[in-house]
């Protein structure tokens, strides 16, 4: 976990940024320190590095670790410049909600492909270590003594950093990074707790679909080769 936090601190504080809709990878390293190679022309995920020749077809089950969640730099300070007052407990509650949404979305998507979620560590288990960083909730639903109403065009944005491991050997197979922003409605909309949860689900859904599709493609390719 310490290594993951070091990596994330570099990503958060450095000049590097990821645009989910930009495929300009000229400044992105081709290889990671683990020897993972940059995958060209990826769908739904901006940046993916994978072990050359990696095969995901053996994985029938998935173990997802609790996501690490970090807000955008100075997010609380910037929020508190407005009429909203965000406390430390508000931030922890939002983090908890983000973790719950992430796990629920990924569970739902993986079950569509008949993948079983497990806590076991065996040869047919893919270990997923996710992190949500640069979390920017435009209008947080905070606990206040008085009723407040906030109108925004978008609920916010977040970045996914994810690592995939063989659960038995703990060898890293792939890592990926992608940013998502909630849709801009083109008009001001009242942001509530349920609205923020719905926005979080919308932003995370393509990530979960990308993981399931990757496992499906590996499984289907292996099945075809055997026929």
The verdict on residue 218 lying in a domain is: no
Residue among 42, 22, 27, 25 at smallest CA distance from 162: 42
Q: Which two structure tokens, joined as six digits, stand for 131? A: 């992190």
The verdict on residue 94 lying in a domain is: yes
The verdict on residue 68 lying in a domain is: yes
The verdict on residue 225 lying in a domain is: no
Is the confidence at residue 84, as pLDDT, over 80? no
Is the confidence at residue 7, as pLDDT, over 90? no
The verdict on residue 52 lying in a domain is: yes
Q: Which pLDDT tens digit goes with each residue over 128-177?
A: 999 999 999 887 877 654 445 444 445 689 999 999 999 999 999 999 99
The verdict on residue 227 lying in a domain is: no
Residue among 55, 218, 19 at smallest CA distance from 134: 19
Domain residues for the domain of 74 are: 2-210
The verdict on residue 177 lying in a domain is: yes
Question: For every residue of 31-97, which 3-state class applies, written as one string?
Answer: ECCCCCEECCCCCCCCEEEECCCCCCCCCCEEEECCCEEEECCCHHHHHCCCCCCCCHHHHHHHHHH
CATH code of the domain in which 51 resides: 3.40.50
Q: Which two structure tokens, joined as six digits, stand for 91? A: 């931030």
The verdict on residue 126 lying in a domain is: yes
> pLDDT value at position 154?
57
> Is residue 195 very low, low, confident or very high in pLDDT (cuts 50, 70, 90)?
confident
Number of domains in the chain: 1
> pLDDT value at position 224?
59
């Amino acid at each position: 976990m310490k290594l993951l936090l070091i990596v994330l601190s570099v990503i958060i504080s450095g000049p590097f940024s990821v645009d989910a809709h930009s495929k300009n990878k000229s400044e992105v390293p081709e290889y990671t320190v683990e020897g993972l190679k940059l995958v060209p022309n990826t769908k739904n995920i901006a940046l993916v590095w994978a072990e050359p020749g990696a095969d995901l077809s053996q994985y029938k089950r998935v173990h997802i670790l609790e996501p690490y969640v970090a807000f955008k730099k100075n997010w609380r300070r910037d929020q508190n410049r407005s009429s909203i007052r965000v406390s430390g407990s508000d931030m922890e509650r939002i983090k908890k909600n983000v973790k719950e949404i992430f796990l629920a979305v990924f569970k739902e998507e993986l079950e569509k492909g008949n993948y079983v979620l497990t806590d076991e560590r065996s040869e047919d288990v893919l270990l997923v270590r996710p992190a949500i960083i640069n979390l920017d909730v435009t209008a947080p639903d905070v606990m206040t003594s008085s009723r407040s109403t906030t109108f925004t065009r978008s609920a916010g944005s977040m970045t996914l950093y994810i690592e995939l491991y063989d659960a038995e050997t703990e060898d890293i197979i792939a890592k990926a990074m992608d940013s998502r922003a909630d849709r801009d409605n083109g008009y001001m909309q009242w942001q509530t707790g349920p609205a923020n949860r719905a926005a979080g689900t919308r932003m995370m859904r393509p990530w979960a679909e990308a993981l399931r599709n990757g496992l499906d493609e590996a499984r289907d390719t292996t099945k075809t080769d055997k026929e």
